[in-house]
Every structure is written in structure tokens, then in C-alpha cells.
């Protein structure tokens, strides 16, 4: 059963390419990066742990895809997010 559900989601993503103009890999990486951003913002998990939990095979690949998507390395993103959301005194 999970296989057919997964297949349906992938088929849906592929069919959506015409409307969102992304390849399947770009779409999957986008979903993974959004999940990674959420984890980086809300947890103190290590960057390598975030990479693994969001489905990237290596931390180096994760860092490259993350920086391409956000303009910041995962560590820079964490520092920026903490600075911007620091409670005022």
C-alpha cells in the first residue's frame, strides 16, 4: 500500500512539472530544503543530522543544495535566523 501512495505522489509531482516548471529532483530537493530550514530554525540538531533526516546522502551535498536554494550555508542560515529572531531586551 505505501508503494502505491508513494507512486501516486511522485506521479502527481511529475504531472505538476508542466505547471510548476521543476524537475522531479528539483521538486524533491525543494521539499527537503523546506524541512531542513524548519529543523534548523526550531532545533539544535547538528547540520549533519539535519542533512541525514531530510534525506540527503552526504552533508556536503546537503550544504551545496541548501546554499544554492537559500544563498546561505546551513550554519549561516542558523546564525542569521537566531540573530533576526533574538528577543529584544
CATH number for the domain that contains residue 40: 1.10.10.60
What percentage of the chain exceeds 90 in pLDDT?
A: 64
- Residue 1 in domain: no
Q: Has residue 2 got a pLDDT over 70?
A: no
The alpha carbon dihedral of 72, 78, 83, 88 has a sign of: positive
Residues spanned by the domain of 47: 22-84
Please indicate, yes or no, if residue 12 is contained in any of the structural domains. Answer: no
Cα–Cα distances in Å, from 46 out to 43, 52, 65, 89? 9, 10, 17, 28
Task: Compute the mean pLDDT over every residue in the chain, rounded to the nearest whole number.
Answer: 85
Supply the pTM of this predicted model: 0.73
Q: What is the pLDDT of residue 21?
A: 76
CA dihedral sign, ordered 11, 61, 42, 84: negative
Q: Which residue has the cell 551535498?
A: 61
In this predicted structure, what is the pLDDT of residue 1? 41
Q: Mind listing the pLDDT tens digit for each residue in 57-73?
A: 999 999 999 999 999 99
Question: Is residue 31 situated within a structural domain?
Answer: yes
Cα torsion for 84, 62, 68, 42, to the nearest 10°? -20
**Cβ contacts of residue 54 below 8 Å, gap of 6+?**
32, 33, 35, 36, 39, 62
- Indicate the range of 4-18, 25-39, 44-58 predicted with least confidence: 4-18
**Structural domain contains residue 55:** yes
The total domain count for the chain is 1
Amino acid at each position: 500500500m505505501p508503494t502505491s501512495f508513494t507512486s501516486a505522489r511522485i506521479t502527481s509531482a511529475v504531472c505538476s512539472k508542466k505547471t510548476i516548471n521543476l524537475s522531479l529532483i528539483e521538486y524533491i530537493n525543494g521539499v527537503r530544503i523546506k524541512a531542513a530550514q524548519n529543523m534548523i530554525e526550531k532545533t539544535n540538531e547538528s547540520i549533519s543530522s539535519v542533512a541525514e533526516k531530510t534525506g540527503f546522502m552526504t552533508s556536503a551535498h546537503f550544504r551545496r543544495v541548501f546554499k544554492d536554494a537559500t544563498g546561505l550555508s546551513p550554519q549561516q542560515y542558523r546564525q542569521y535566523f537566531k540573530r533576526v529572531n533574538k528577543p529584544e531586551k
